[in-house]
Amino acid sequence: MEQSIIRSNRWNEAARYGIILGLIPAAYLYLGHLQIYIGTAGLVTSTITLVAWMAKFAGCIMLMRHVMNKFAYTNPDASRTDLFKLGALLAVFSALVYSTIAVIDQLYVFPEYYQSIYAIAVEEYSKVLPSEQIEELKGMLANAHKISFFITFIYCALYGTVLSLILSRITPTKNN
């Protein structure tokens, strides 16, 4: 009976905090768009970008650690395996949220930004590639949002799963 309560709590925590954890890198994504929109460049912008990236990176790790510590505290019978499963679910939920936001950004929010990047890529590659490969590149870029979704989802889910493995080993539990 206790294991079903832990399982239920794990899904609830992962869903709730997965949304928050997915919104953090999305905010960083839009900070980059804001810098482009404002048109800033140089050392100050690079410094702001670096500080924002470090805050995003550290903030995601600290939030995952906080969620796992809180889960271990509120579920004293939880094992390290339960904490790992929580972290893996959290990683999947947050990866899904972030990947979805990134695709929406590509398709609906800033499509002209991405299209201009694709046009520059095609222009540069057309200088060195034969026309058949350029046509293949254009076909691939037409599906870039799909490719981006799956690559981003897999990368974020794997990164979060590895992080949850590490954090589950250092999070104190009463039931190892």
Mean predicted confidence (pLDDT) in 52-71: 93
**Between residues 68 and 41, the one the model is more confident about:** 68
Q: What pTM value is reported for the model?
A: 0.85
Mean predicted confidence (pLDDT) in 114-130: 86
Secondary structure letter of residue 110 according to DSSP: S
- pLDDT value of position 1: 39
Q: Does the pLDDT at position 55 exceed 70?
A: yes
Highest mean pLDDT among 19-33, 101-115, 149-163: 149-163
- pLDDT value of position 17: 92
- 88 contacts 158 by C-beta, under 8 angstroms: no
Nearest to residue 103, comparing CAs of 59, 145, 61, 140? 145
DSSP class per residue in 19-61: HHHHHHHHHHHHHHHHHHHHT--SHHHHHHHHHHHHHHHHHHH
d(CA 62, CA 116) in angstroms, rounded, equals 36
- pLDDT value of position 114: 87
Q: Which helix (H) or strand (E) holds 83?
A: helix 80-104
Sign of CA dihedral 145, 34, 108, 100: positive
* Mean pLDDT, all residues of the chain: 87
- pLDDT value of position 22: 92
Highest mean pLDDT among 39-48, 77-86, 98-107: 98-107
pLDDT, tens digit (0-9, with 9 covering 90-100), for 165-175: 999 999 877 76
